[in-house]
Structure 1
């Protein structure tokens, strides 16, 4: 009877701790699943074949995500196993400069480090993400050789829904309110480049050079803007173009030409008007 009681007591404790055991067992898979995001398709290595950057199935346990800081998650190949892009104690990590230029190292237990650092003289092997989310370039491993990220004939090519931050896109419109020493310049931010525009304004000069500047600082989105330009010289031709700045750089519009006015009492009429070679009016 006592032995039966002891058995039930052990079973009671087992029932209590079983859920915690299951939680511990499944924690790694849950952590990897949380990394799945916005990469898809395949890279290619001549020695090992396809390397998948996307998750498989409804609840995949691998997949690579891209953020402005770098790559996270796991790629997968039958021959290489997991390729980890998560930083573990600063030993390795593939970083992103925010503009889609990747550098650093991934890691696989079977093949070791996979380098995203380009050591060629002309940056031929650098891995980049373009404005459409397409990977290009080559990673490198001593055991794998070059790993091609480019899409060749739609057979493979890694893509992502993450888009790099770029300089803003702006256009320049015809100035208005032209006077002897002032005009109103007009521009339009058509794309912020994925980051807040902190400065917008106009560059202008007597030629297509940025001699002078009129701008405003703040936090700006897409849309039209205008600023007065003062201190001009009457009766003079200028060239003006719009610009906008975000964390990635400066975007410029095209130059537009305008001429300031002169006062009506300064218009000089010639008294001598040549009608033909024989007749002169005075």
Structure 2
């Protein structure tokens, strides 16, 4: 029997974990002889058994074999002992109506200081053979309730089971069902002889929690109920997220693709994540920070405005309500900055158009593109230039741009304004002469006299 329960409990625990945030158990009462409850105290309003053996009226911790059920036996309980009740009002003297049919087991002094997200789980069972008194019986209505209070406050129902038939009587064929809407009429899942695990959230926080199993059962026909393996859980403490840093890719002179992976949120939403970088080791959010979304999972982005030709340190980071976590410190070295050398050839003759200008780009990320203005084309060398000013814009594959300026010159216009002559001394003679001293243009000069 215990093996069967262990398998079922394991499956339920897995579902509890998958269905929401993981819970941590901090208290239990298995009703066994040792180690139960795990803390605090368990106090019964009365503890008795009579009739039999096995007992026919009881409100006690017992072996399932120690009590007489009307038709069947309990199953799927944990361990060896349970807390069971039947025909409670007979009391220790086995005299009908000698005590109240409403009795409780209370656990006091359970420490909940600093705990949040509290919840309860327990195994519950009851006869499914009918006879449960319904709402119409007023103060004599049968029920099974698990309730709690924090720091001595009012009792609050966590789970409550009532007859599903308001007018039900000890002769009715009915069951105790979970009351889902608080109207004291069962309308949810029904209890049977097979112990079933039920859970409920516990609202609020404080220092001390009291837990109570409260029931009413006074007929001897088939009003049998039992509980087992009560447990309390808390939300695990929130810790900072877990994040790793991803190696840099696409490294250029001023840009690189950087990222990371938030593998665990630490129990609270990750409200910010991203990259921090600096030129010193182990940068933090006090250095340059580039945000990149929220939540868990991988992320990356192109980071720009990096310093060229520099060793850069970077880390992924993630933030939740507990704090900030960082991945490992990784490094990369950026390329040299985009730059260019220049050369030019000026116009050879005044008024000509044979000037050239050339740039030789380096650094940045290849390939490069060129744009000359006001003319010159889209190559590294502009040709056919006349005298004047020119600008070339160089763009690399990171979209970084630099400009270089040129002034193409030309010689001044040739001039023969300076010259001298000697006239013929005698009519018909041939001793005349003429000379010029050219300037401007491009030396050396050649001369051609005409007519001779």
Give the TM-score normalised by the residue count of structure 2: 0.29
Structure ranking higher in helix proportion? 1
